[in-house]
Chains A and B, each alone.
Chain A
Amino acid sequence: DAGVIQSPRHEVTEMGQEVTLRCKPISGHNSLFWYRQTMMRGLELLIYFNNNVPIDDSGMPEDRFSAKMPNASFSTLKIQPSEPRDSAVYFCASSFYTAGVTEAFFGQGTRLTVV
């Protein structure tokens, strides 16, 4: 398997524009996590899905952020409208959750810069 695939790897956009980040989890995995990483706040969990269903989105900073998982092989994280403070590296991770243990594997991340 190619691992977790994220696109784009880098995104530069102007404030106010819509940004869509994409993630393809590892085939067969049933859990997917979206994280945001900054120097100040570290790795923050934004939302996670089990079997394509959003379980906890309490980490989503505000209504400008939304995430979907229409099927087991694809997820999106959308920011609309984007703001400079959204600049960060966004990671997607997937795992096969069973019996209380989940080994999550990360994608390469999307470095987002909002100017």
Chain B
Amino acid sequence: QKEVEQNSGPLSVPEGAIASLNCTYSDRGSQSFFWYRQYSGKSPELIMFIYSNGDKEDGRFTAQLNKASQYVSLLIRDSQPSDSATYLCAVHNAGNMLTFGGGTRLMVKP
């Protein structure tokens, strides 16, 4: 079992809809959690991070964390075709190891 699991997708949503991306992790000692976006042929870029249970909002993006369930999610409101990319969940532990999931490919259709 991989330490960080994501559905590979593709997840297809119509423009303007809410896209929901999910991630589970195995290490209960994990401290902080990150969402990265990666366009084809480009490097991952940080969207946002969260380290407390609950929701964290940044513009159209909301990260949700449930440490008891070892679950992290990213909601993208008002999805745009430019949001089409692979979204990577990353988990950081106390030893400063940053481990990534396999990524979910999101397709936003006009």
Contacts and interface: CB of A to CB of B under 8 A. Distances in A.
Interface residues of B, number: 23
B46 A104 contact: yes
B44 A45 contact: no
A42 B45 CA distance: 15
B88 A43 contact: yes
Interface string A37-73: 0000011010010100001100000000000000000
Contacts of B44: 43, 91, 106
Contact of A100 (B45, B88, B94, B100): B94
Given A43-B103, A91-B44, A106-B43, A101 B49 contact: yes
Given A55-B96, A100-B51, A101-B32, A42 B43 contact: no
Interface string B35-70: 000000011111001010000000000000000000
A50 B97 CA distance: 10
Nearest to B90: A104
A48 B43 contact: no
Contacts of A43: 44, 88, 100, 102-103
Of the listed residues A55, A103, A108, the one surrounded by the most CB atoms of chain B closer than 10 A to its CB is: A103
A28 to B, nearest CB: 16
A17 interface: no
B104 to A, nearest CB: 11
A107 interface: yes
Contact of B43 (A95, A97, A102, A108): A108
A109 B88 contact: no
A74 interface: no
A48 B98 contact: yes
Identify the 6 closest CB pairs spanning chains A and B, nearest first. Answer: A42-B102, A106-B43, A43-B100, A100-B31, A101-B32, A97-B96
